[in-house]
Amino acid sequence: MKVMKFGGTSVGKPERIHHISSLVTSQKEPTIVVLSALSGTTNALVEIIYNIAKGDRISAKQNIDKLEEHYHDFIKGLVKEPAFIQKANAIISEHFEFLNIILKISFSEALSKDILAQGELLSTKLFSTYLEEQSIDHILLPALEFMTIDYNDEPQIGSIKVKLTQLLGQYPNKKLFVTQGYICRNARGEVDNLKRGGSDYSASLIAAAINASVCEIWTDIDGMHNNDPRIVKKTRPVEQLSFDEAAELAYFGAKILHPASIWPAQQYNIQVKLLNTMQPEAKGTAIVEEAGSVGVKAVAAKDNIIAIRVKSSRMLLAYGFLRKVFEVFEKYRTSIDMVTTSEVAVSLTIDNATHLKEIQKELEPFGALEIDENQVIISVVGNEISQTANIVKKLFESIQNIPVRMVSYGGSPHNISLLVPAAYKTQILQQLNKGMFNL
């Protein structure tokens, strides 16, 4: 059995849905298709939540109506027969009625998760309606019945496996299954999600849970590129990445993959393929156990980083200082990305400013604090790069003119990370493209 995940742009137009339905039906083995919401939908739902949270119900209503219109237009190109047009219209009405009801009740965090879930519920039901019109036999599997997260918001493959296996066991002769990416149920039984871009994570979790032959992530580009194509003009796809390399790139900002999407596949050694829906014949990127080659493969940038330097008074520099500093971050469930130390100070970075004020207050007794917001982590990723002297030389030569605030080297053999002010992001990515890749 295999998993094929299609992202927002891959389902964003009726003709793309027609196209992916022929892709999924031409598979030799049974397939679970994981779908994102149509492109733009989750952003629109975020905007609606923002309107409601602010108490601006007029704008919320306008945005709901605009989105509903988009869906009614969409199905005009999706299905043809009156019975299926009627069915698709009924699906849209059901979900937008729900959104309109929400407008009337008092707002809560849990309600916002219900709103966010509408995108994937709509895309999968509409896809299923199209498959039905084409007489393509399939089963719509409700992700909310098997995709769960625990009290720490962590998915547990073990329990997902039990529920999904049970569900699939009800359809022993079926070959095609369709389910929602992104959405899940939390430990309180409420509708929740795997965070923005989470459909990749859903696909990898499902692939791990069913021990899939492959987890294919179909998107709008032909694989992981050596640099961010949104910023740098000349980039090229990377043919093969190890799980470790791909996980570093995803975590450090390569938007093509959700930051946590690699570990489930890695844990169960399931190869992940990044493929282009618009160009299915392109090779894409294979993510497997082995790196395939030594050397730099790609660079990525992670935005909105805050650097914190704690300069200790001498007494506190004794053993235990770092533990005390780290405990503050643990207390506020704020993860640290980069760390560098000197004899008298420690610098570290976080990307979550939710508890910055409290963290700052608790760190103050340990020494002088310096906080720099608006930083970006640039990660240079490849196999054994930190052991190859020439790579480090080339790296620093190509960015000589850029003020580097921190360097993390040797933490992993596949990654060298640099912290620079966000204003230098484009420049550093461009210079690295020339210096490291000759592009």
C-beta of 41: minimal distance to ligand ASP in Å? 7
Site string for ligand ASP, 26-45 (x = CB under 6 A): ----------xx----x---
Query: Residue 337: helix, strand or coil by DSSP?
Result: strand
Residue 8 touches ligand ASP, criterion: CB under 6 A? yes
C-beta of 244: minimal distance to ligand ADP in Å? 16
Residue 197 touches Mg ion, criterion: CB under 5 A? yes
Comparing CB distances to Mg ion, the nearer of 102 and 274 is 274
List the beta bridge partners of residue 383.
295
Sole binder of ligand ADP in the list 47, 220, 351, 372 (CB under 6 A): 220
Task: Determine the interface stretch with Mg ion among 7-15, 94-102, 146-154, 385-393 (rule: CB under 5 A).
Answer: 7-15
Of 166-205, binders to ligand ASP (CB under 6 A) are 181-182, 196-199
Question: Six-digit token pair at 210?
Answer: 């069913």
List of residues 6+ apart from 81 with CB closer than 8 A = 133
Site string for ligand ASP, 102-121 (x = CB under 6 A): -----------------x--
HSE value, Cβ hemisphere, 13 Å, CA-based, for 261: 33
Pairing of strands 336-341, 272-276: unpaired
Helix (H) or strand (E) holding 313: none
Task: Determine the interface stretch with ligand ADP among 3-11, 75-83, 327-335, 354-362 (rule: CB under 6 A).
Answer: 3-11
Comparing CB distances to ligand ASP, the nearer of 8 and 421 is 8
Comparing CB distances to ligand ASP, the nearer of 39 and 240 is 39
Alpha helices in 170-315, H assignment, sequence order: 199-210, 243-251, 263-267
Sole binder of ligand ADP in the list 37, 67, 115, 224 (CB under 6 A): 224
Residue 233 touches ligand ADP, criterion: CB under 6 A? no
Q: How far apart are the first and last CA of the chain?
A: 39
Residue 229 touches ligand ADP, criterion: CB under 6 A? yes
- Comparing CA positions, the residue from 248, 231, 256 lying closest to residue 424 is 231
Comparing CB distances to ligand ASP, the nearer of 133 and 200 is 200
Task: Determine the interface stretch with ligand ADP among 8-16, 329-337, 356-364, 423-431 (rule: CB under 6 A).
Answer: 8-16
Cα(300)–Cα(334) distance, rounded to whole angstroms? 22
Largest CA distance in the chain: 79
Residue 255 touches ligand ADP, criterion: CB under 6 A? yes
Residue 245 touches ligand ADP, criterion: CB under 6 A? no
Cα(284)–Cα(218) distance, rounded to whole angstroms? 10
Helix (H) or strand (E) holding 363: helix 356-363
Cα(242)–Cα(290) distance, rounded to whole angstroms? 5
| 88 in Cβ contact with 133 (< 8 Å) | no
Question: Which phi and psi (to 5°) does residue 249 adopt?
Answer: -65, -45
Residue 36 touches ligand ADP, criterion: CB under 6 A? yes
Residues that bind Mg ion (CB under 5 A): 7, 197
Residues that bind ligand ADP (CB under 6 A): 7-10, 36, 197, 219-221, 224-225, 228-230, 254-256, 298, 300
Residues that bind ligand ASP (CB under 6 A): 7-8, 36-37, 42, 119, 181-182, 196-199
